[in-house]
Amino acid sequence: MTPTARTAIAVLDDWQGAARRFADWSAIAARADLQVFDDHLADPEAVVARLAAFDAVCVMRERTPLPRTILERLPRLKLVVSTGSRNASIDTRAAEELGIAVEHTGYASDPTIEFTWALILACCRHVAEEAANVRAGRWQATVGTGLRGKTLGVLGLGRVGGAVARIGQAFGMRTIAWSPNMTPERAAEHGATAVAREALFAEADVLTIHMVLSPRTRGLVGAADLARMKPTARLVNTSRGPLVDEAALLETLRARRIAGAAIDVYEVEPLPADHPLRALDNVLATPHIGYVADDLYRTFFGDTVAALARWLDARA
């Protein structure tokens, strides 16, 4: 960078207008040209064109992927700051080879744990449908499903899944769990019973997914798993969309082979306007807001500003 050049920093996908609300960027803006984008670009060519003039890019989770094919076309880029403790959509190996530093912010699972239960309760008690009924002048059109005595199936019993399982027990639910490396001892730590994969899907009244997305887990929940579920069962996914075979899920929901699904995450995000999940009446769909909570946003953007300040100091 020449002595007269001014560092350019981009903040991407701030479609909620949250970046400046949850952190003080004044120290960064005084030292660099800061541009906050409130729209989303899905086309890689458009992403490259937008980012070509920036030295640092701040990304919110996986909203804008940064694979090698994009990074290698951004010779000016020297820093990526990503909210969250990991971001599978950034090719960190390519970044390292290209001399691009990648920083991450702090993270807390509490918002996702809380939101998982918001979806479970809203789905089982038809909250969105009945709220719409009240607005439309109707009254008591559905009968909800109680949770006490029902079986909660947890796919993945890590930091989020373990907490979700424990909360299920507070509702009086029987809790069962499975993951590729599950042990009876690990399940018992969270008050759950380890079961076979087939039993998890066959026995659960509510099946909630809490796995990390990786090449090994992509499409983990397929047609055979969904076919084992009870016709009265509900599927909940606040983890990652590609963990579930979307085509198989759509077929299952259209045929009403399960009672419904509550979904916060999708194969493609933002969810296309004409996507069939938007139209199915047995789907409670939310726009990936499991992690969207004020305290976590303060961590995300506060840590982003701190990372940028350290980087600017090192370049001074």
Which one is catalytic: 269, 275, 298, 315? 269
Active site residue 288: yes
The Cα diameter of the chain in Å comes to 69
For residues 215 and 88, what is the distance between their CA atoms, to the nearest angstrom? 10
Contact call for residues 252 and 169 (beta carbons, < 8 A): no
CA-nearest of 247, 249, 155 to 208 is 155
Active site residue 68: no
Task: Quickly list H helices, the chain.
Answer: 26-29, 44-51, 68-71, 92-97, 110-124, 127-135, 159-170, 184-189, 197-203, 223-228, 246-254, 294-315
For residues 290 and 287, what is the distance between their CA atoms, to the nearest angstrom? 9
Active site residue 240: yes
Within 8 A by CB and 6+ apart from 128, the residues are: 122, 284
- Among all chains, which residue has been given the structure tokens 């809203």? 122
Contact call for residues 241 and 247 (beta carbons, < 8 A): no
For residues 293 and 110, what is the distance between their CA atoms, to the nearest angstrom? 9
Q: Which residues are marked as active site?
A: 240, 269, 288
